[in-house]
Structure 1
Amino acid sequence: MIRSFVVGAGVVTAAVAIAHTALAGYVARRLVAPRAPKVFAPVFIEGDTVSVPVIDDSREPGVYGLRFDDGSHLPVGDIVRVERDRVVRRILARPEGLDDGEALAAWTSQNIGAPEDVGPTRHVAVPLRRGGTAEAWEIGDRETADGRWTIHVHGLRSSRNGALRSAPATTDAGWMSLVVSYAGDEECAPADVLPSSLGTREWRDVDDAIAYAVACGAREIVLVAWSMGGTIAMLALEESPHRGTVTGLVLVAPALDWTRVVENAVAGAHLPRSVAAAAMRVLGSPIGARALGLIETVDARALTWVGGHRPGPRIPTLILHSRLDPVVPFSGSVAYVERHPDADLVAFDATGHCNEANQESERFHDAIDGFLRSL
């Protein structure tokens, strides 16, 4: 009887361990997987309003966008009314030729349709050390910028369209804006899309963008980094031979401690906290990395600048982060500022992740503009 009990307990323990490992693998895969294709749904345009399906994002306050299936963009503003399964919002700028009626569109936080809406734009290709080039937008006038450049780095499962939201402020401050793409983001051809390495691979492409800016005459560079772009910026500043040219940082909802990010995701999914640690072990193991399709292992626990392991750069830093961010905990930004006297934190109350520019656009703009002018 005792023997059968021991054997039964062993079977249960093994089953629990297998289930725990499976959950950890699922969390790790969700963390690094490429973004799912955009969901296009019917929208109905009538005069100066558009009716869109009810989803969490379409009920958020602020300024957003609709991306049509032909690639065109429609900026939308305040909610006019909410119907049973539809949200009616105000159209902010109606493109020429857009008729009333039904169209297919995807909701997006990208409230700027194109870089030309920000300022004079050159479509450029940044040479990469790994071969090939990365597409980028160069916005502004090099002559009047007088060697002052900002490089805008988007986050995980995003594209440079999302990072455009910080370009109006940097352009208004008189700095050049280089809005870049990098390895594995949405602009790669489908065959080239790889799981994210949480910045440990991507930072090299951003370093190549820094080299491009220097070759174009940049004497002062400020990295403007969104979400996982914060991780990329920190890694670039640790390794880049051009890091002495980077004189400031603007970080929007930055991922500065991946342990907090993973634990927050696990808690949000109502899973045991131990799954977070197991998921990070999967990312850091050769077997786990191969199973996830990663080129190299990722030590997520080492990607932190809020403790004592990695000091972080000693340069003027502005952090813009919402207290209500559901993805990247606000506490990480607080902890970073407490350790870095050169860093200032501007707190927002925007709902959603990286919606500071959408919901408090004027305050967001003025904070970046003022920071750059102070440099």
Structure 2
Amino acid sequence: MVRAVLIGLGLAAAAVAVVHTAVAGYVARRLVAPRAPKVFAPVTIVGDTVSVPTTVESLEPGTYGLRLDDGTHVMVGEVVRRDGDRVVRSVLARPDDLRDGVSIAAWTTQNIDAPEDVGPTRHVSVPLRRGGTADAWEIGDPAAADGRWTIHVHGLRSSRHGALRSAPATTDSGWMSLVVSYAGDDECAPADSLPSSLGTREWRDVDDAIAYAIGRGAREIVLVAWSMGGTIAMLAVERSTHRAAVTGLVLIAPALDWTRVVENAVTRARLPRSIASSSMRVLRSRIGARALGLIESVDARALTWVGEGRPGPRLPTLIVHARTDPVVPFSGSVAYVARHPDAELVAFDATGHCNEANQEPERFRAAIAGFLGRLPGR
């Protein structure tokens, strides 16, 4: 009887272990998977208002966008009223030829339609060491910038449009703005939509963008990085052969400690904390990386700049981060600033992830403009 009980317990433990591993693999896959297709739904535009489905995102305060299924962009403002399962918001900008009525659109935080809305724009291609090119926007007047460039790096499962939100602050400050794409991001063709490597592969493309800017006359370069773009920026500064040209960092809700990010995601999903460490083991194993479609394994635990083992760059750094960010914990930015005297943190009360520019645009732009104005220059 005892033997039967022990066998039963052993089988139960094995079953639990299998389930635990499966859940960890699922979490790892969700972490690095390409972005799912945008969700399009009917919206009703009437004059200067639009009715959209009620979601957590569409109820957020601030300025956002609707991307219609034909590519048209509509800028929307604050909530006007709730109407059952719909929310009515103000329309701030709409194309002249857009008629009232029902359209199909996707909600987006991308509240700037095109780089031309920021300043004079060149659509350029950045040569990549891995072959081919990456599309980028070059915004501003190179002659007036006098060698001062900013490179804007978007986050995980996003695109250049997401990073475009920081370009007005840098362009209006007289700096060139290069808004870049990179391996596996939202702009890649479906065949190239590889899983993210959390920055360990993507940083090379940003390094190539640094080389491109230097070739265009850049003498001072500030990396302006969003979310996972913060990881990419830190790796580029650590490893780039052009790192001497980087004179500052602006980091928006930056992922500076992936252990915190993963543990936060697991906690919010009400899963056991042990799932976080197991999912990171999946990522750094060869078998796990192969199963996830990764080109190379990823040691997420090593992607941290808030502890003692991996010092951050000695560069003037501005961090903009909301205290209640649900995706990248604010505590990581606090810990980073505590260890780096060259870094300053501007805390926001924005809701959601990377919504600082959407909800407090004037303060957001002022923080970046002030930081650029305080850089010593060359």
Short-chain TM bin: over 0.9
Tell me, in whole angstroms, the C-alpha distance in 2 between the residues paired with 1:182 and 1:82.
39
Deviations 1:282-305 (A, max 9, x none): 000000000000000000000000
Q: Are 1:151 and 2:148 an aligned pair? A: no
Give matches, 1:130-149, under 5 Å: 130-149=130-149
Query: What is aligned with 2:243?
Result: 243
- Give the deviation of 1:140 after TM superposition: 0.1
Query: What is aligned with 2:116?
Result: 116
Q: Are 1:353 and 2:353 an aligned pair? A: yes
- Give the deviation of 1:72 after TM superposition: 1.3
Q: Are 1:308 and 2:343 an aligned pair? A: no
Classify the secondary structure of the residue corresponding to 1:57. coil
Tell me, in whole angstroms, the C-alpha distance in 2 between the residues paired with 1:125 and 1:173.
24
Counterpart residue identity of residue 142, structure 1: P
Give matches, 1:52-201, under 5 Å: 52-201=52-201
Tell me, in whole angstroms, the C-alpha distance in 2 between the residues paired with 1:158 and 1:192.
15
Tell me, in whole angstroms, the C-alpha distance in 2 between the residues paired with 1:106 and 1:318.
32
Counterpart residue identity of residue 195, structure 1: P
Tell me, in whole angstroms, the C-alpha distance in 1 between the residues paired with 2:16 and 2:51.
47
Tell me, in whole angstroms, the C-alpha distance in 1 between the residues paired with 2:239 and 2:172.
30
Classify the secondary structure of the residue corresponding to 1:204. helix
Q: What's the % identity of the aligned pairs?
A: 78
Q: Are 1:31 and 2:37 an aligned pair? A: no
Classify the secondary structure of the residue corresponding to 2:150. strand
Q: For the Cα contact (< 8 Å) 2:249–2:318, is it kept in 1?
A: yes
- Give the deviation of 1:96 after TM superposition: 1.3
TM-score by length of 1: 1.00
Query: What is aligned with 2:2?
Result: 2
Query: What is aligned with 1:322?
Result: 322
- Give the deviation of 1:366 after TM superposition: 0.3
Q: Are 1:226 and 2:201 an aligned pair? A: no
Classify the secondary structure of the residue corresponding to 2:200. coil
Query: What is aligned with 2:202?
Result: 202
- Give the deviation of 1:161 after TM superposition: 0.2
Tell me, in whole angstroms, the C-alpha distance in 1 between the residues paired with 2:93 and 2:281.
48
Bigger Cα displacement from structure 2, 138-147 vs 77-86: 77-86
Tell me, in whole angstroms, the C-alpha distance in 2 between the residues paired with 1:82 and 1:244.
52
Deviations 1:313-338 (A, max 9, x none): 00100000000100000000000000
Counterpart residue identity of residue 208, structure 2: D
Q: For the Cα contact (< 8 Å) 2:73–2:113, is it kept in 1?
A: yes
- Give the deviation of 1:374 after TM superposition: 1.0
- Give the deviation of 1:130 after TM superposition: 0.2
Deviations 1:103-162 (A, max 9, x none): 111000001000000000000000000000000000000000000000000000100000
Q: CA RMSD in A?
A: 0.4
Q: For the Cα contact (< 8 Å) 2:73–2:94, is it kept in 1?
A: no
Tell me, in whole angstroms, the C-alpha distance in 1 between the residues paired with 2:64 and 2:358.
6
Q: Which runs of 5+ in 2 are unaligned?
A: none
Query: What is aligned with 1:13?
Result: 13
Classify the secondary structure of the residue corresponding to 2:58. helix
Q: Please list every run of at least 4 consecutive aligned residues from structure 1 whose deviation after the TM superposition is greater than 2 angstroms.
A: none
Query: What is aligned with 2:298?
Result: 298
Deviations 1:68-124 (A, max 9, x none): 111111100011101111111101012110111111110000010000000000000
Query: What is aligned with 2:214?
Result: 214
Classify the secondary structure of the residue corresponding to 1:59. coil
Tell me, in whole angstroms, the C-alpha distance in 1 between the residues paired with 2:321 and 2:101.
38
Classify the secondary structure of the residue corresponding to 2:272. coil
Q: Which runs of 5+ in 1 are unaligned?
A: none
TM-score by length of 2: 0.99
Tell me, in whole angstroms, the C-alpha distance in 2 between the residues paired with 1:183 and 1:96.
36
Tell me, in whole angstroms, the C-alpha distance in 1 between the residues paired with 2:218 and 2:302.
31
Tell me, in whole angstroms, the C-alpha distance in 2 between the residues paired with 1:245 and 1:342.
17
- Give the deviation of 1:262 after TM superposition: 0.2
Tell me, in whole angstroms, the C-alpha distance in 2 between the residues paired with 1:363 and 1:35.
30
Q: Are 1:45 and 2:20 an aligned pair? A: no
Query: What is aligned with 2:343?
Result: 343
- Give the deviation of 1:270 after TM superposition: 0.3
Tell me, in whole angstroms, the C-alpha distance in 1 between the residues paired with 2:34 and 2:193.
7
Tell me, in whole angstroms, the C-alpha distance in 2 between the residues paired with 1:326 and 1:347.
14
Classify the secondary structure of the residue corresponding to 2:93. coil
- Give the deviation of 1:199 after TM superposition: 0.2
